Amino acid sequence: MHLGHAYAALVAQEVAGCSNGTFILRFEDIDGSRVRPEYYRLIEEDLRWLGINWKEEPIRQSDRLEIYSDALANLLEQGLIYPCFCTRRAIADEASRMTNAPHGPEGPVYPGTCRKISADERSERIALKKPHSWRLNSAMAAQACGKLTFRDLLHGTIPVRTESLGDVILARRDIATSYHLAVVTDDAEQGITIVTRGEDLLSSTHIHRVLQNLLGYPEPLYLHHKLVCDDTGKRLATRDKALSLSSLRASGYSCAQIEARLPPLPRLPGNLTGET
């Protein structure tokens, strides 16, 4: 964990306390290439050192892949997802050839190459075990959902732009789910009422509201807080070892000194139900 993680955890704890809620720890570990057994323990040690505690046993997304597959099957039954056989290189090449390639908040969006493949050809490729991911058909999803909004405790009510991220991947070829599908499913099953996270994920919430609507999940409130940056103004990343909590602790920093290096906690509205 680095200072950015510490700030996110402290914001979540503050919101839980102000809303008479419960702080929940979840390990979003679907990317096995980045997982080490000792990381779970080290994360818990860092959080407890910050004075953050939780009552429920933390869940691990890597143990819940079957549940996410059921959610994906639901969307497939609705005809709202399609298999994508494109490699990253093929997608980049296709986008570079387009004079007006569609762009979203994260850069060029998927140009919809495999959306145009016939059902027979899709079935044939799947039968031949061609590697593929599963993408949301954003145009059909927009039609199915109609107008949606989400409520952010700092930014107010935001209209959902279903096309903002294009036809996003909901299950990768190497992992049976994605961040988008996993978190909305977990939020629903764990009864999450307020989601707190960095403002870099604000664009993702548009997709999450769409998935919640399509899967019949309840709509939580959101709080997208500011990011912690280094001295150059660049967002902290896990590779910034010098600013990891473990290295700062080893250097003799106290918990109070750690918090002094972080931005002030956001000013929360008096009523965290989202009602005016």
CATH of the domain at 71: 3.40.50.620
Res 30 pLDDT > 70:
yes
CB 185 within 8 A of CB 146: no
17 within domain boundaries: yes
Angle, to 10 degrees, between the axis of helix 65-77 and the axis of helix 202-215? Answer: 70
One DSSP character per residue, 57-124 reads PPEEGGG-HHHHHHHHHHHHHTT-EEEE---HHHHHHHHHH-TT--EETTEEPP--TGGGS-HHHHHH
268 within domain boundaries: no
119 within domain boundaries: yes
The tally of domains found in the chain comes to 1
68 within domain boundaries: yes
273 within domain boundaries: no
159 within domain boundaries: yes
The pair of three-digit structure tokens given for residue 90, joined into one six-digit string: 């093929």
**b/e for 86-100, b at 16 or more Cβ within 10 A?**
beeeebeebbeeeee
102 within domain boundaries: yes
Find the domain containing 16 and state its range. Answer: 3-260
Res 95 pLDDT > 80:
no
In which band, very low, low, confident or very high, does the pLDDT at 246 lie, cut at 50, 70 and 90?
confident
Res 273 pLDDT > 60:
no
Collect all residues with Cβ–Cβ distance below 8 Å to 65 and sequence separation of at least 6: 30, 175, 176, 177
In which band, very low, low, confident or very high, does the pLDDT at 230 lie, cut at 50, 70 and 90?
confident
Res 54 pLDDT > 70:
yes
Instruction: Kindly list the distances between the CA atom of residue 39 and the CA atoms of 23, 43, 110, 237, in Å, as whole numbers in the listed order.
Output: 20, 6, 33, 16
The percent of residues above 90 in pLDDT, for the chain, comes to 71
265 within domain boundaries: no
Q: How many Cα atoms occupy the beta-carbon half-sphere of 141 within 13 Å?
A: 29
Residue 263: how many other CB atoms lie within 10 Å: 13
Q: Residue 235: what pLDDT?
A: 79
Candidate from 55-59, 70-74, 95-99, 260-264 with smallest mean pLDDT: 95-99
Q: What is the pTM of this model?
A: 0.91
Q: Residue 276: what pLDDT?
A: 34
